[in-house]
Amino acid sequence: MSLPPLVEPAAELTVDEVRRYSRHIIIPDVGMVGQKRLKNAKVLCVGAGGLGSPALLYLAAAGVGTLGIVEFDVVDESNLQRQIIHGQSDIGRPKAESARDSVLEVNPLVNVIVHDTRLDNDNVLDIFSGYDLIVDGTDNFATRYMVNDAAVLLGKPYVWGSIYRFEGQVSVFWDEHGPNYRDLYPEPPPPGMVPSCAEGGVLGVLCASIGSVMVTEAIKLITGIGDPLLGRLMIYDALEMSYRTVKIRKDPNAEKITGLIDYDAFCGAISEEAADAVIDSTISVKQLKEMLDEREAGERDFVLIDVREPNEWDIVSIPGAVLIPKGEFLSGKALESLPSDKPIVLHCKVGGRSAEVLAVVKGAGFSDAVHVGGGVLAWVNQIEPDKPTY
């Protein structure tokens, strides 16, 4: 589906801009007018992480006149494997500021607007209203639904991307002309069903593959060239090196979006069963350390179970734990080997998965079970700070 150009062209390009963008200008489909449209465009990138990094750099290089960056996180060493807009010297800095500096190094002619804040219901409409196009590089369902609903309410198009391990997806959503995100995913997946990149990992270079497609779609929308991915979902498999597209149709019976909702409640960080299970059954890492000391002294006995995946265990583990991945509890396989005469202590990376497993364990009749709030990350931060995190 071809669409009209998203923005009007700027009045002119300077001599320096013509020199810089000459390889664009000599493309017949872009030309001088197309480059002027890019100059006049205002694009907001939600997130300066894995997808936001290549997206921001290539939007800047392409000559998008105004780039907004909304990001509240700080740069961590584990980001550098894929978030190429940040460097070693940026560790500990706000990502929005680090990204701004990198963008201006790539193209000082770009006007960069930093929104160093967490996007939420109170600010999303106000922030989005100042831009022509949204590029969504977020990594959680709650924010994705909020971005979608805000874009629908404001009548704005947005480019969406998603990555996990070796696979990525890209689409364009614009409710006035085609489907929106809720037509693709009417309901979020059950809590804990889809692991995040922090839990399951992502091939660093996949961010570049998907981020570059997202920028290509943004350029097409701004300049009005080509056939954007509106009504289509592009799926990329890096292991097979294959791209395929599937059609997305607008649901004529979908409930109309009339306002923003409680997205955390809509998506649910954990299931209701898990939320019920952790009541009065959560211990801190400091309590766990005391329990481990007492077990080593022969003063008490219990079994400590790590429900993460083997690759996570290889990075860091809590001394005295045994590894039984969450999937073995969900299938019922692990329940057969659980001791009925000892308390059970469960932990994962931060506490979400262990809460889900706790619900399964309690449901199977093991009432003397707890989980560790904060998981192995809290253990490293508070007990063994010399160990690595991820």
Catalogue the active-site residues. Answer: 197, 348
Exposure of 48 by Cβ count < 10 A (0-12 exposed, 13-18 middle, 19+ buried)?
A: buried
**Displacement of CA 38 from its chain's centroid (Å):** 26
Orientation of helix 31-40 relative to helix 206-223, angle to 10°? 110
| Beta strands 158-164 and 42-46, pairing class | unpaired
Q: How many CB atoms lie within 10 A of CB 168?
A: 25
Interacting residues of 260 by C-beta distance below 8 A, sequence separation 6+: 121, 124, 125, 146, 149, 150, 153
Amino acid type, 183: D
Interacting residues of 169 by C-beta distance below 8 A, sequence separation 6+: 161, 162, 163, 210, 233, 234, 235, 236
Q: What angle do CA 206, 207, 211 make, to 5 degrees?
A: 120
Interacting residues of 136 by C-beta distance below 8 A, sequence separation 6+: 46, 47, 144, 147, 158, 159, 160, 161
What's the rounded Cα separation, in Å, for the pair 310 and 315? 9
- Residues in the chain, total: 390
| Beta strands 111-115 and 133-136, pairing class | unpaired
Residue 364 contacts residue 335 (beta carbons within 8 Å): yes
Question: 111-129: b or e for each residue (b if 16 or more CB lie within 10 Å)?
Answer: ebbbbeeebeeeebeebbe
What is the DSSP code (8-state) at residue 335? Answer: G
